Amino acid sequence: MRTEKERVPLIGLIMATRVEAAPFIEALGLEASGETGLPAYKGDEIVLVISGMGKANAAMAAAYCCFTFHPQWIVNLGAAGSTKASHRLGDAFHVTKVVEWDRPLLSSEGPHLHFPHVLRGFREAVLATQDRPVIDRRAREVIAPWADLVDMEGAAVVQAARKLATPCVLFKFVSDTPDHEKEADVIAHIREFGAAFCRFVTDSVFPALRTEESS
């Protein structure tokens, strides 16, 4: 059991953009950490680091969070595009496998695969990560046999957390589908569904992590 002096944040959140992070900062009453480095916000049990978009930024943010705040969990949250029209805007998913789409294995023709920690009882999905945004319908169709969702950070967060021996989970909500090919639509949907995603995470994901930690 940790003493009050030894207490560290239970959960380190990694989110790509301020617009995705804003509902969490407000709902959780997080305040700027005062640390130099990446933008970070802290509460009693939560630290949230805004990474910026892309794999390099995400890996640096996860490492920064681990080295600076020493959380017991790394949690990558945020918006993702759907490769399938059957997924609805705002739907939330627990990522059980990440396909690093633009990083092929040297020993085979397939891409690198990453496996985050998996919690029970959530709707699951496979995520594809690459540095180039996937917006148009044709690009989604190419990825669809491999993954349900696409983003630009997930694989890097999982890999960095594993290197630093910190368990990592991923949850994403659908911000765009094959019917949405404009960046303005993606941003509008993040604003529209971000608060509901925040409630889902605080009401369902955080309790599951606390239960997992105590078991």
Q: Residue type for 4, please?
A: E
For the stretch 148-188, pLDDT in tens is 999 999 999 999 999 999 999 999 999 999 998 788 999 99
More confident call, 6 vs 108: 108
- Average pLDDT of the chain to the nearest whole number: 92
In 3D space, the residue among 75, 135, 132, 78 whose CA is nearest the CA of residue 103 turns out to be: 132
Residue pair 53/153 in contact by the 8 Å Cβ criterion: yes
What's the rounded Cα separation, in Å, for the pair 50 and 75? Answer: 12
The predicted structure's pLDDT at residue 9:
65
Name which of 152, 183, 184, 186 is nearest 170 in CA terms: 152
Question: Mean of the pLDDT values across residues 106-114?
Answer: 75
165: three-class secondary structure by DSSP: coil
pLDDT band at 106 (very low <50, low <70, confident <90, very high): low
CATH number for the domain formed by residue range(s) 11-210: 3.40.50.1580
Query: Is it the case that residue 4 has pLDDT exceeding 70?
Result: no
Q: What percent of the chain has pLDDT over 90?
A: 79
Q: How does residue 96 score in pLDDT terms, banded at 50, 70 and 90?
A: very high
Q: What percent of the chain has pLDDT over 70?
A: 93
For the chain, which residues make up each domain, given as ranges? 11-210
Q: pLDDT by residue (tens digit) across 21-57?
A: 999 999 999 999 988 789 999 998 999 999 999 999 9
Q: What pLDDT shows up at residue 2? A: 43
Q: Between 101 and 57, name the one with better pLDDT.
A: 57
Orientation angle between helical segments 183-200 and 18-27, nearest 10 degrees: 20
pTM score, whole prediction: 0.92
In sequence order, which residues have a C-beta less than 8 Å from that of residue 67 and are 6 or more positions away? 164
Predicted confidence band of residue 111 (pLDDT cuts 50, 70, 90): confident
